[in-house]
A and B are shown apart, each in its own frame.
Chain A
Amino acid sequence: MSEAFALDLPRPTGGCADAPVLRERGQREVFCGLTGIVWLHRKMQDAFFLVVGSRTCAHLIQSAAGVMIFAEPRFATAIMEEKDLAGLTDTNDELDRVVDRLLARRPDIKLLFLVGSCPSEVIKLDLSRAAGRLSEKHSPNVRVLNYSGSGIETTFTQGEDACLAALVPQMAAAPANAEPSLLIVGALPDVVEDQFRRLFAAMGIARVEALPARKISDLPSVGPNTRFLVAQPFLGDTARALEDRGAVRLDALFPFGAEGTTDWLHAAAQAFGVDEMLFRSVVAPGRERAARALEKVRPALEGKSIFFFPDSQLEVPLARFLSRELGMVPLEVGTPYLHRTHLARELPLLPSSTRLSEGQDVDRQLDRCRAARPDLSVCGLGLANPLEMEGLTTKWSIELVFSPVHGFDQAADLAELFARPLNRRDRLSDAIVPARANRREAAPCS
C-alpha cells in the first residue's frame, strides 16, 4: 500500500513482530472445534453435519446453538453408547444405519460431514474410511466427507479450518492456463460476501469465488492461477491445502476496520494488476463511510485499556483495529494459537507495549487480568459474568464470530460491540453495583 494512501494513523512504535510470547499450559477455558458447526451449517445450505461423539458433544452443540436447535437445523449427533464401544465392527454398522436413516429423512442433503469428536478420536474410529464407504454407497446424490472438531485437536474456530481443509481435495483442478481467479476463503455472512464481490467486480476482477460455497455444486476449482485471500485468521490448514494444489495466498491484513479492509482489498488489486487510481476510486466511498462512522464511536473507546482472553484467533487483528483506528490500549492479547505467517502484517502494527500470550492457564491469566484491571475484558461466557461481579467490564467474545464484522460497512458495528458494554457501565447507577460479599450467586431478594 502506498504511503499516500495510508490512513492518517499513528505510526507503529516497533510493534510486536519480534516481541516475546508468553506460552502457557494449564486449564484452557475454550470451546472445541465442534462449535464451528453452528455457523458453518448456515453458510453451506445443502450440507449436514453429523457429529460422531458422546452425549457431552450433543449437549455442547445444544448449549452453543441456543434457540437455533429448534429450527430443524442441519446438524445432529450420533451418540455412542456402551454397546458401540464394545467392538469396532459394530460401530461402523451402527454408523451406516444412522446415516441411512438420516439421508432418507433429509433428501435435500447433498453433502454430509462426519465430524470427529474426542471420544471417536480416542477409540480411533476411522471416520475417513467410513466417509469413503458411505460416499460410494450414496453416490451420486450425496458426498460424504469427514474432519475432526474434537477438543483434543481443535480450538473453537479451528473447526472451520478443519472443515474447509476437508473440502479442498473436493475442488476440481483448474488447468495451468486457466483464467486467473480470486478465491475468498472463510465463511463470511452472505451480506459481507456480497459487499466484497461488488467491490472486486468494480475493480474489474472477473472471476471471484468463495470457499465454502453456498452449495456443493458451486464448489470452485483450484489451480496454479488461483489467488486466494484469507478472510479469517484461523485458516492455517486450509491455506496450506490450497497452496499444495498450486494456489497462491495473498498476504494482507485481515479485513477488520477501514485500514484492514483497505489493505485486504489492495492485496487482490495488486495481484490482479488493477490500476491504482481505479482501486482508490472503488474503495474510497466505503473507506470514508467507515472512517466517518468510526469517528462517532471513537470517543467511547479512546484511551481505554483492553485485555483479550484466548478464544477464536481473531484477537490479534481485532486488537490491531481497536488500537490503530479507535485509540484503545491493548494490555494483553491472548490467542489459542499464534499463526505467525498469517499474522505477519498484523503483529508489527500492535503497540510494542502489548503482551502477547498463546495458550492458557486460565487461573493465572485471571490473576493477570485482575492485577491489570483493564477497562474492558474480552472473554468467553464462562468468565464474563464472574468478571463483571468482580467489577470488571466485559465483552463476550463469541458474538464476534457470529456477527457480521468484516468490511467497511461493518467497521462501526464492530467498534460498537466493544463500546456498548462501556456505555452500559456508565449508564447504570453506581448504587446498583451488586453486593460482592456473596459472589457464588446474587442473593435471593426474599
Chain B
Amino acid sequence: MQLTVWTYEGPPHVGAMRIATAMSGLHYVLHAPQGDTYADLLFTMIERRGARPPVTYTTFQARDLGTDTAELFKTAVIDAHARFQPQAMIVGASCTAELIQDDPAGMALAIGLPIPVIPLELPSYQKKENWGAAETFRQLVRHLTTAVERSPMAGRKPVCNILGPTALGFRHRDDVVEITRLLERMGVQINVTAPLGATPADIARLGAADFNVVLYPEIAGEAAKQLEKQCGQPSIKTVPLGYGATIDFVKEVCALTGLEPAPVLDGVPSRMPWWSRSVDSTYLTGKRVFVFGDATHVIAAARVASEELGFEVVGMGCYNREFAREVRAAAADLGLTALITDDYLEVEDAIAALQPELVLGSQMERHIAKRLRIPCAVISAPFHVQDHPARFSPQMGFEGANVLFDTWVHPLVMGLEEHLLHMFRDDFEFSDEAGASHLGGHGAGAAKPAVAADAVASTEVASVSSEIVWAADAEAELKKIPFFVRGKARKNTERFAAEHGLATIGVETLYDAKSHYSR
C-alpha cells in the first residue's frame, strides 16, 4: 500500500479516456462502478470541452454484483452503439471491474457489432495514466492501421503523421498548430495527426505516411514502434521543445527527407535567442533552477534552462518511471542525480533542501513553490484550468520558444518587483498593506496570508537547526535580503554557524557566511 494525498497521474483508464476524448467517431465503454464518471469533469472543466467525453460507463452498484454486471455491460455496449453510431469502439474495465472479472473483451466481441471493437487490458494496480494512453493508442494502431505501398520520396512531397497529442495534454492543442505550420513550411505534407482530432478511419490510413513525428513519447512512443514494425515507418526522435531542439528537429527531418533546412532556419525564426542575449537578461545568469514534471518536458526544459537562458540547473526529476532512464541520462550530463518519484513530499523535500531561485514543474510544484515563496512556472502536466489558456501558447517550435522565455522569466521579474516593494516597505507609499504583487493579489488584507506564509516558511527552516539562535539585528538584516534567496541565505548562515560552533548568529555571522559561500 502506498500512502498518497496527491497523485501526479490518474489510473490507466483515464489515459484511455484521453485518447477517446481526443478523437471523434470512437466510443469507449468502460465497465466501472457508480462514481467513476468523476473523470468526465476533467475534460469538461479543465479543458472546457463543450461536449461530454465519448465514454459510456456501466456504473454498477452493490445490488448489481454477481452475474448481473455482465448483463449491464452488454446492454451498455449495445445502447452506446445504437445511440452514438461510432466508427469503432474500445472496451475495458476500471480498477474495480478488473477485480470482478467479467471479461469485457469476450462479452463485447460476442455481441458481434458491425464495427471494430478493440479490447483494452489496462492493469490498474500496476500502471498509470500515461501508460494507459500509450497502450490504448498502440492497440488502436495494431487493430486498425493497414500497411500501404509507398512510392519513393524523391520527386514528391514527403508525407508524415504527427503522433501523440491527446485530450488533457499540456498545451497539445497549440503544439500541434505550431509544428504543423513548421513542417508545412519545410515542404512536408501532413497525412494524419492523431489521436487529437483523428477518427478511427484516420488511424486506418496512418500507413500512408513516409515517417512519423512523435511529439510526446510518453503517449505515442509505443504506437510509433508498432507502426515501424507494421508499416516500416521511421520516427523522428527529437522533440521540438526549445529553440535548439527545434533546430535539431528541423535538421533531423531534413536528413530523413532530403529537404533543405535553410528556408525555415534562415532569418529570425524566434525572438528568444535575442531576448536571452539582450543586457536585460544578464541577471538571469546562473539562476539556480529546479525542474520536475513528465520526462519529455523535463529533459527539454533542462536543456533550455542551461543552454538557452544561462540558468544553473540544480535539480531535476520526473514522476513517470517508464522514462526514468532518459531523465537519469540527461541529469548526468548536467552533473546531477535525477529524482525519480511520484511522491510529492519527496519533491518538496528536495526543493526545500536546494532552495532554488526558480522552480519549473507541474501544478503540484507550483503549490510547493508558493509555500516556500519561490518563483515558479508550469512546464508539464498535471496542470489546472489556468494552464489550458484561451490564447495561443505552444511550448514547441519557434513560437513555443518565445512562450517559454516569457513564461519562465515573468515570475523572476515579478520577484524583483516584489523585492523592491519589500525594500521600500517602510516608505509610506509602500506599506505592508499594499500586498505582494503576485502572491495573493493587491490591496489590504492580501498582505496577511503572505505574512503568514512567511512565518510558516521560516519556522520550518529554523526548526532544522533549533539550537542556533538568531540575534534580533541579524534577523532584521536577513529580512533585507530578497525573499527569493532568503531561505538559502538563512540555511547557509546556520550551516556556517554550526560548522564554526557559534550558538548565536549576529549581523557579522550573516556577512561572514555570505563571503564564505559567495559564488
A residues at B contact (CB < 8 Å): 26-35, 52, 54-56, 58-60, 62-64, 67, 69-70, 73, 75-82, 84-85, 91, 94-95, 97-98, 101-102, 118-119, 121-123, 150-153, 155, 363, 380-386, 388-389, 434, 439-442, 444-446
Contacts and interface: CB of A to CB of B under 8 A. Distances in A.
A384 B10 CA distance: 23
A86 B6 CA distance: 25
A152 B177 contact: no
Contact of B41 (A32, A85, A382): A382
B37 A28 contact: yes
B5 interface: yes
B65 to A, nearest CB: 7
Contact of B24 (A62, A95, A388, A440): A440
A441 B40 contact: no
Nearest to A51: B4
A76 B35 contact: no
Contacts of A363: 79, 83
Contacts of A446: 174, 177, 392
A26 B29 CA distance: 13
B464 interface: no
A219 B34 CA distance: 32
Interface in B343-396: 364, 367, 371, 384, 390-392
A434 B50 contact: yes
Contacts of B24: 440
B201 interface: no
A290 B59 CA distance: 41
Interface string B26-38: 0000000111111
A67 B367 CA distance: 9
Q: Which of A69, A75, A81, A84 has the most CB of B within 10 A?
A: A69
A27 B5 contact: no
Contact of B5 (A60, A76, A97, A441): A76
Interface string B67-92: 00000000010010001000000000
B323 interface: no
Contacts of A380: 41
B455 to A, nearest CB: 15
A122 B125 CA distance: 14
Contact of A384 (B37, B44, B123, B364): B44
Interface residues of B, number: 63
Nearest to A81: B125
B224 to A, nearest CB: 25
A123 B101 CA distance: 12
B126 A151 contact: no
16 contacts: A30-B35, A32-B35, A56-B10, A56-B13, A56-B95, A76-B4, A79-B2, A79-B3, A82-B126, A122-B99, A151-B96, A152-B61, A152-B65, A382-B41, A389-B50, A439-B51
A172 B45 CA distance: 45
Contacts of A80: 1, 125
B108 interface: no
B3 A78 contact: yes
Contacts of B246: none
B392 A445 contact: yes
B38 A64 contact: yes
B276 interface: no
B1 A386 contact: no
Contacts of B83: 363
Interface of B: 1-7, 9-11, 13-14, 24, 33-42, 44-45, 47-52, 56-62, 64-65, 76, 79, 83, 94-96, 99-100, 123-126, 128, 173-174, 177, 364, 367, 371, 384, 390-392
Contacts of B173: 441, 444
Given A55-B128, A151-B59, A441-B49, 15 more contacts: A35-B38, A59-B14, A81-B1, A81-B125, A94-B1, A98-B1, A151-B61, A151-B96, A152-B64, A380-B41, A382-B37, A382-B41, A440-B24, A444-B173, A444-B392
Contacts of B65: 122, 152
A388 B83 CA distance: 21
Contacts of A59: 7, 10-11, 14, 39
A344 B292 CA distance: 56
Contacts of B61: 151-153
Contacts of B4: 55, 58, 76-79
A55 B11 CA distance: 6
A118 B125 contact: no
Contacts of B367: 67, 70
A152 B61 CA distance: 4
A386 B60 CA distance: 24
A245 B99 CA distance: 38
A386 B51 contact: yes
A147 B61 CA distance: 17
A108 B254 CA distance: 63
Contact of A381 (B44, B50, B57, B126): B44
A151 B61 CA distance: 7
Nearest to A70: B367
Nearest to A152: B62
B27 to A, nearest CB: 12
A70 B364 CA distance: 8
Contact of B49 (A35, A91, A386): A386
A434 B48 CA distance: 12
Given A27-B56, A79-B4, A81-B125, A63 B96 contact: no
Contacts of A95: 1
Interface centre among A119, A121, A151, A439 (most CB of B within 10 A): A151
A175 B5 CA distance: 42
A168 B308 CA distance: 63
A369 to B, nearest CB: 13
A216 B127 CA distance: 39
B11 A383 contact: no
A78 B364 CA distance: 19
A97 B1 contact: yes
A388 B44 CA distance: 11
A363 B48 CA distance: 20
Given A78-B1, A85-B125, A445-B390, A69 B6 contact: yes
A60 B38 contact: yes
A121 B61 CA distance: 11
Contacts of A151: 33-36, 59, 61, 96
Contacts of B13: 56
B2 to A, nearest CB: 5
A270 B124 CA distance: 55
A378 to B, nearest CB: 15
A388 B7 CA distance: 31
Contact of A152 (B38, B52, B60): B60
A150 B33 contact: yes
B3 A122 contact: no
